[in-house]
């Protein structure tokens, strides 16, 4: 039993530690959600939230979210700033279209091939694109990293290409802010 302590090898302990660190953000988020639902911050709400979070993650098991372990704070602020700008700009554009007496013409469902293969970045990209008024992700092809989205006012090929460029810009921002080094290399290629 050389190389083993407590019945586990060093590699097994490192793997268990990595899984715990990957699951920790999810547990913290669930505990925070629990405290928001109860509207109080107390030891009881933290402990009961932790118990509920552990039960939820064990009963409703999902594969662990693989975070990149890399956060570029500068690019994160740039990404959030661009997102907020897009949110305000698109809100006014959609409002103008809603009050246009001619109505909204030329909608399209568009497929956008993403560069990344990371579920984390694909999810961030699809959520951000869906939150900006005027487009919504209707399907995600996870295996091929393709987003299918419905876009308002896409009448011409140029409009469709602009929507694609906007989605790829969101993906690029998410990768620069939170993506792995492999995602960055894929983006630069």
Centre a 10 Å sphere on the Cβ of residue 57 and count the other Cβ atoms it contains. Answer: 15
Angle between helices 43-59 and 10-38 (to 10 degrees): 120
> pLDDT tens digit string along 64-114?
666 667 788 999 999 999 999 999 999 998 888 888 888 777 789 999 999
Q: How far apart are CA 122 and CA 44, in angstroms?
A: 36
| Residue 59 pLDDT class (50, 70, 90 cuts) | confident
Q: Any idea which residue has 């810009």 for tokens?
A: 169
Quote the pTM value. Answer: 0.69
Q: What does the DSSP assignment read for 26-39?
A: HHHHHHHHHHHHHT
- Res 173 pLDDT > 80: yes
Per-residue CA distances from 185 to 101, 129, 179 (Å): 47, 23, 10
Residue 147 reports pLDDT greater than 90: yes
Residue with tokens 């372990």: 69
Closest CA to 89 of 156, 175, 150, 166: 166
Q: Picking from 23-27, 124-128, 151-155, which range would have the lowest pLDDT averaged per residue?
A: 23-27
**What are the domain boundaries of the chain?**
4-59, 73-188
């Amino acid at each position: 039993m050389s190389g083993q302590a407590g019945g586990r090898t060093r590699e097994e302990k490192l793997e268990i530690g990595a899984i715990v660190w990957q699951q920790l953000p999810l547990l913290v988020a669930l505990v925070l959600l629990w405290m928001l639902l109860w509207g109080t911050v107390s030891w009881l709400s933290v402990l009961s939230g932790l118990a509920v979070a552990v039960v939820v993650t064990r009963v409703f098991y999902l594969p662990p979210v693989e975070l990149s372990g890399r956060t570029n704070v500068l690019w994160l602020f740039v990404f959030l700033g661009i997102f907020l700008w897009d949110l305000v700009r698109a809100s006014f554009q959609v409002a103008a279209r809603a009050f246009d007496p001619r109505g909204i013409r030329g909608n399209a469902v568009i497929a956008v091939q993403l560069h990344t293969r990371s579920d984390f970045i694909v999810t961030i990209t699809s959520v951000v694109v869906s939150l900006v008024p005027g487009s919504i992700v209707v399907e995600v092809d996870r295996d091929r990293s393709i987003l299918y989205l419905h876009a308002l006012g896409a009448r011409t090929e140029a409009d469709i290409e602009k929507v694609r460029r906007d989605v790829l810009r969101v993906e690029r921002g998410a990768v620069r802010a939170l993506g792995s080094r492999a995602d960055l290399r894929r983006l630069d290629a």
